[in-house]
Amino acid sequence: MTLTFQTKAQGPKVAYLFPGQGAQAVGMGKELYDNSAAAREVFDKVDESLGRSLTKVLFEGPEDDLRQTINAQPGIMAVSLACVKAMEENLDLDEMPQPIVMAGHSLGEYTALAVSGVLDVADTTKLVQMRGQLMQDACDQNPGTMAAILGLDQMALEEVARETGVWVSNINTAEQIVISGDRMGIAQAMDLAAARGAKKVIALRVGGAFHSGLMEPARAGLVEAIESMDFHNPTVPIVANCTGDPLNTADSIKEELVAQVSGCVQWKRSVDYMMGTGVDSFIEIGPGRALSGMVKRINRRAVIANVADLESIMTLRRN
């Protein structure tokens, strides 16, 4: 049976946001699995598509296993999709907040593919699994790491990156920018950023230099995987990580997914675009609240809700 979503672009001015890797936590999604038939169907479909029990890792851990890219990425996607299906199951049509646009942070962009009807859940799961494996292979081939730089503006940090041979990989807010590169380059860039006025530099516990040139080995395999699947135009525009512009066609989405693996995630630009087109309410769907915090720092006028379990879904009804 093919799982589909009811999402259609319409008012009020709502945007769906889907989190990326790092939002994972042991036990995520279990309450949904136990209490929502629609959510359980998503988890079962993901397990079936992977040919293994990802849900066991999600619900029981151990944490080290869940942190692995090959588990974390499809796991976060599965929980986000289960949340959407539980929303559809528990909210009447007039209660269900429908987006006029959606966006996902890195991995979250793939979650948006299923919700907007670009791919079905099975193919989205397989593509996420393939992406995770390709990224891991690239990490093994080109070891690297990432660091968050707080309080140094984008132009100054881009100059630091040029001087140290690293990449600006995530522009999350004006005050929070992430860099990626080999370990020596990142260490030099952290020191230089601090010397030039950064308020804080934080080494991130990650498995590689994501969204940088060191991920280029993943590109060819990702192109092959994408071209093997049947993409459709989205029912709701997806705001692209790499440009902050809306994607309305299958071909433009394919191009974005390939560019995104080694390109910078322009999250601030994406949020600015959404608010500029009239979005005033954001719903972060899935584990964690990282995107909500970023949106609030980008624009304090934004109204934000989080959906990660049945209680938060019922809160949408009350609102």
pLDDT, one tens digit per residue, over 281-295 is: 999 999 999 999 999
Domains of the chain from N-terminus onward: 14-140+212-318 (3.40.366.10), 145-204 (3.30.70.250)
pLDDT (tens digit per residue) in 237-257: 999 999 999 999 999 999 999
- Whether the predicted pLDDT of 318 surpasses 70: no
* Annotation says 49 is catalytic: no
Q: Which of 36, 49, 80, 106 is catalytic?
A: 106
Calculate mean pLDDT across residues 74-93. Answer: 95
Q: What integer pLDDT is reported at residue 184 of this predicted model?
A: 98
Q: What integer pLDDT is reported at residue 194 of this predicted model?
A: 98
- Whether the predicted pLDDT of 95 surpasses 90: no
User: What is the rounded average pLDDT for all residues in the chain?
Assistant: 94
For residue 10, what pLDDT band results from cuts at 50, 70 and 90? low
> In whole angstroms, what is the distance from residue 117 CA to residue 99 CA?
14
Angle at which helix 267-276 crosses helix 290-298, to 10 degrees, equals 60
For residue 2, what pLDDT band results from cuts at 50, 70 and 90? low
Q: What integer pLDDT is reported at residue 206 of this predicted model?
A: 87
Q: Which residues of 167-193 are buried (b: 16+ CB within 10 A; e: fewer)?
A: bbbbbbbebbbbbbbbeebbbbbbebb
Q: Which of 36, 105, 169, 211 is catalytic?
A: 211
pLDDT (tens digit per residue) in 167-202: 999 999 999 999 999 999 999 999 999 999 999 999
* Annotation says 180 is catalytic: no
pTM: 0.94
For residue 11, what pLDDT band results from cuts at 50, 70 and 90? low
